[in-house]
A and B are shown apart, each in its own frame.
Chain A
């Protein structure tokens, strides 16, 4: 029943920095369990769009409606600040490109995972720790690293820890900004595999910003191609990548190195 309605409804979203265009005329719907990739070159407005969607950057025009857990449609910028911050740290997740932006580097891995639980009122140390251990296992971090600070983790581990930290409250929508950026190819492959598994298992909806078409191909069901702040093409990922219509998309697809 719930799957018959979208989770997110975006219409005519625009963000201007003064008179300069960030992104404009973006409209789409995101369905539960669906992964949407936003691709495009640097400066095309991908990250601006992601920030505007995820309530970190107030858009200049348009609206973003989100279907709350109680089934109510709410405009995320009409929510009070308290409601919005609560939504962001319970029902949403945000995976940053640089794990240091999304993690607390000076507290242990266990506390990083447990922070969201404590933020929603969990006050039982044993339960918090058990949940943290469970999640570290799910993102393939050894249990004996639970008391280590993320500073001592490798880039791939940090990124996996960030994912665990976001998913611990069972969010329904996760935003990811270049989740595999800065990782080497084999670690990227492992992370993508893990993400794909988690997204499928938990039925998460996700919006993934990436300039890497391989990431889009592996993770997403649908994709939007952006150029100069506008969405120039959108559709099923396989359709867009195999049969690009716009000249720019054709160029983008053909620019992938074949080895």
Chain B
């Protein structure tokens, strides 16, 4: 009788998980510092979240409940396939509900619902080095981090204001963690930067291709960089969500037809569903009872 080959729990072997956990512990101990780790080949291409998947695989246990979001949505390709991956190799329970999840792996967004104690947010990071576009040499950027030479980061913001009249960086907006390390919060919109500040959840960042892990422990100060006369601001949307009527949330533009018709809807699908379930209706939405 042949036995079917079994993957180890959560795909990675125990030695690898231990190695990644050590990197995570170091990252938590030095908030914002990029810890090198030996990134493994994963059964998905680079750019699909191999860093985040490795971090999730190392911290997940049988009792965890996993939520995966991609651009705020639970139903996009990346989110669906990573959720299916862990359902298969770790047999864990998955969910789309933010409040029920113990681990949330994310690409591009932080859920609208404030995260609580005991929750872990795992970010998929393409380029962990915030200084990279200005200083291509890794030896030099490491030295700049070590000696806290962060003037260059402001050169980038200066350029923004000189060219656009305001700080035009809207995503991957650099932050300073606990007054020490400047960190790239991964390509999340700057709208989400204030949510990182003093969050009750543990935030872990994994960059698979670049072999780096960094972290923001719970209740850590995260300040967005700015100028005294050009302070940091987040995006504001003139309209509410077309489906649930929410304001002060991050909205996606959805094209409706070929005649310029469009609407703005919550990028966080779970948040939108929650609100509609609670009876909120936007300008283009249909009341849930009426639809049934």
Interface-central residue, B158, B227, B229, by most chain A CB under 10 Å: B158
Residues of B within 8 A of A17 (CB): none
Once A125-B227, A147-B163 are accepted as A-B contacts, the answer to whether A111 and B155 lie under 8 Å apart by CB is yes
Inter-chain CA distance A170–B151, complex, in Å, is: 17
- B residues engaging A (CB < 8 A)? 134, 143, 147, 149, 151-152, 154-156, 158-159, 161-163, 226-230
Residues of A within 8 A of B152 (CB): 115, 118-119
Interface residues of A in 86-131 (CB under 8 A from B): 104, 107-108, 110-111, 114-116, 118-121, 123-126, 128-129
On whether the beta carbons of A82 and B155 are closer than 8 Å, the reply is no
* 5 closest Cβ pairs, A-B complex: A119-B151, A118-B151, A118-B154, A125-B227, A124-B228
- A residues engaging B (CB < 8 A)? 81-82, 85, 104, 107-108, 110-111, 114-116, 118-121, 123-126, 128-129, 146-147
Contact of B158 among A82, A85, A116, A128 (CB under 8 A): A128
Least CB separation from A110: chain B residue: B162
Residues of B within 8 A of A126 (CB): 229
Once A119-B149, A120-B151 are accepted as A-B contacts, the answer to whether A125 and B158 lie under 8 Å apart by CB is yes
On whether the beta carbons of A118 and B155 are closer than 8 Å, the reply is yes
Contact of B147 among A85, A104, A118 (CB under 8 A): A85
Interface-central residue, A111, A115, A123, by most chain B CB under 10 Å: A111
On whether the beta carbons of B229 and A125 are closer than 8 Å, the reply is yes
Once A118-B151, A123-B227, A124-B227 are accepted as A-B contacts, the answer to whether A110 and B158 lie under 8 Å apart by CB is yes
Inter-chain CA distance A121–B154, complex, in Å, is: 10
Once A82-B147, A85-B149 are accepted as A-B contacts, the answer to whether A104 and B230 lie under 8 Å apart by CB is no
Least CB separation from A149: chain B residue: B159
On whether the beta carbons of A108 and B151 are closer than 8 Å, the reply is no
Residues of B within 8 A of A147 (CB): 162-163
Inter-chain CA distance A222–B20, complex, in Å, is: 61
On whether the beta carbons of A123 and B228 are closer than 8 Å, the reply is yes
Residues of A within 8 A of B143 (CB): 81
Contact of A107 among B159, B227, B230 (CB under 8 A): B159
Residues of A within 8 A of B229 (CB): 124-126
On whether the beta carbons of B161 and A107 are closer than 8 Å, the reply is no
